[in-house]
């Protein structure tokens, strides 16, 4: 059997960065290289009904144990793409055995300091896998991919473990919000599923933000600055004026827990043209709608000030809080809690300050909470994963399979 560590290190060697500017699906061809590899690996370890469709969704099955055919079909899902925020090519993982709790030198000029990342203290004694400080690691979500594959191989190799039918799915483009745009829930065939896409050990998440994206295109009027009085419309200044109308205390750097935010993630342009883009987030639907209304009214006010055609707002909902769809099925959470405790993991139930494929799948009639995968500091050069926690994730997946057969 392939070890979890070797499997994970193999997967992070694939460059699977997604591209939000692409119009293809998947957004990058290189994601298909890993997805096709996973198809062949699923076949090699004995999964059945292995397939990959035209959109890159790779799926496979572990048949039910004899006598467990009537158990609900459950699924485990992870995404293969890495975030566009930083390169995921030529990843050089560094392995730290029995981590001593001190600062971690990533390279000659970069150190990951416990003072900056206090969560590191939890991982004292663990085996950690870090970057070399030049790329992200790819634990988001190749840790989840490796854990699902390792658990699947273990279940197939140990037929004495009783379980119902299990479906496995690997998706592209989660990092750019398109992970389940074409996911065929009917073909997947599970009654319930779990995304293995969380971070800290014990995370169990079934609440997430309601999410929208706002893009404002600004058409300025550029004239010579020496003769600009009452003529020039500086698109950059209009963008800054709009941003000043958004409450400063509702930015990500000032919010936590259930507090939502406006996050300005793109601002570029010139006097003639500019674009400013936001993500809008809130767990509470009423507050979410109020935030969208504020954005709409701020743009409308500036449209009145500067005239028709200067500001164009594109506002689009992205996903919603899955709590509404999961709470009617308490067993999905209860069995995950029992499975974690059986793996000597203390469940840490808290809202996701983000979203997962599971949020959208839950609204596609596949209730799908999110479980820890052991990666930390996603999307950047300080990303790392605890192999010790990843092993507990594998045990949790196996235990969930057992729980649903009871």
Single out the catalytic residue among 81, 141, 173, 197: 81
Which residue among 15, 141, 173, 174 is the active-site one? 174
- If we measure between CA atoms, which residue out of 183, 196, 232 comes closest to residue 395? 196
Neighbours of 49 (CB within 10 A): 15
Domains of the chain as residue ranges with CATH: 4-207+321-404 (3.40.630.10), 210-319 (3.30.70.360)
The predicted model gives 73-81 an average pLDDT of 98
What does the alpha-carbon distance between residue 36 and residue 38 come to, in Å, rounded to a whole number? 5
Residue 1 is predicted with a pLDDT of: 66
- Work out the pLDDT band at 67, boundaries 50, 70, 90: very high
Write b or e for each residue in 262-301: b if 16 or more Cβ atoms lie within 10 A of its Cβ, otherwise e: bbbeebebebeebebbbbbbbbeeebbeebbebbeebbee
- Which helix (H) or strand (E) segment holds residue 212: the answer is strand 210-219
| pLDDT tens digits, 111-160 | 999 999 999 999 999 999 999 999 999 999 999 999 999 999 999 999 99
Is 174 among the residues known to form the active site?
yes
Query: What is the share, in percent, of the chain residues with pLDDT greater than 70?
Result: 100
pTM: 0.89
Q: Is 81 a catalytic residue?
A: yes
Q: What is the pLDDT of residues 339-396, one digit of tens each?
A: 999 999 999 999 988 877 899 999 999 999 999 999 999 999 999 999 999 999 999 9
Whole-number pLDDT of residue 328: 97
Helices vs. strands in the chain: H and E counts, helices first: 10, 18
Cis status, amide bond into 26, omega within 30 of 0: yes
Q: What's the rounded Cα separation, in Å, for the pair 348 and 375?
A: 15
Query: Can you tell me the distance from the alpha carbon of 356 to that of 335, in angstroms, rounded to the nearest whole number?
Result: 20
The chain-wide mean pLDDT, for the chain, equals: 96
pLDDT at 155: 98
For residue range 8-54, list pLDDT tens digits in order.
Answer: 999 999 999 999 899 999 999 999 999 999 999 999 999 999 999 99
CA 10 → CA 297, 329, 395, distances in Å?
50, 36, 21
DSSP-assigned beta bridge partners for residue 171: 79
Residue 307 pLDDT > 70, yes or no?
Answer: yes
Cα–Cα–Cα angle for 395, 401, 402, nearest 5°? 90
> What pLDDT, on a 0 to 100 scale, did the predictor assign at position 177?
86
């Amino acid at each position: 059997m392939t070890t979890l560590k070797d499997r994970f290190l193999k997967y992070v060697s694939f460059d699977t960065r997604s591209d939000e500017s692409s119009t293809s699906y998947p957004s990058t061809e290189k994601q298909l290289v890993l997805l096709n590899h996973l198809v062949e690996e699923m076949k090699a370890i004995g999964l059945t009904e292995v397939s990959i469709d035209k959109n890159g969704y790779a799926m496979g099955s572990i048949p039910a144990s004899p006598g467990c055919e009537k158990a609900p079909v459950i699924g485990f899902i992870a995404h293969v793409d890495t975030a566009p925020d930083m390169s995921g090519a030529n990843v050089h993982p560094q392995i730290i055995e029995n981590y001593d709790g001190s600062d971690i030198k990533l390279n000659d000029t970069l150190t990951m300091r416990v003072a900056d990342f206090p969560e590191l203290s939890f991982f004292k004694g663990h085996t950690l896998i870090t970057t070399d400080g030049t790329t992200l690691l790819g634990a988001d979500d190749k840790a989840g991919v490796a854990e699902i594959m390792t658990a699947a191989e273990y279940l197939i190799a140990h037929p004495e473990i009783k379980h119902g039918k299990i479906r496995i799915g690997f998706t592209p483009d989660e990092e750019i919000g398109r992970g389940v745009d074409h996911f065929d829930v009917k073909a997947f065939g599970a009654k319930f599923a779990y995304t293995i896409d969380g971070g800290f050990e014990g995370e169990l998440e079934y609440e997430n933000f309601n999410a929208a994206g706002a893009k404002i295109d600004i058409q300025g009027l550029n004239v010579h600055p020496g003769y600009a009085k009452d003529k020039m419309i500086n698109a950059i200044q209009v963008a800054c004026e709009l941003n000043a109308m958004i409450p400063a205390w509702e930015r990500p750097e000032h919010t936590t827990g259930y507090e939502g935010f406006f996050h300005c993630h793109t601002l570029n342009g010139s006097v003639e043209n500019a674009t400013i883009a936001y993500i809008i987030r809130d767990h509470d639907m009423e507050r979410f709608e109020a935030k969208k209304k504020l954005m709409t009214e701020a743009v409308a006010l500036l449209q009145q000030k500067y005239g028709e055609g200067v500001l164009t707002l594109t506002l689009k909902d992205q996903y919603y809080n899955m709590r509404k769809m999961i709470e009617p099925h308490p067993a999905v959470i209860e069995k995950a809690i029992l499975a974690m405790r059986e793996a000597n993991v203390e469940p840490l139930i808290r809202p996701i300050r983000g979203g997962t494929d599971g949020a959208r799948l839950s609204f596609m009639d596949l209730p799908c909470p999110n479980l820890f995968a052991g990666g930390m500091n996603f999307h950047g050069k300080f990303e790392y994963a605890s192999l010790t926690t990843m092993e507990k994730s594998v045990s949790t997946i196996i235990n969930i399979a057992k729980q649903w057969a009871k």
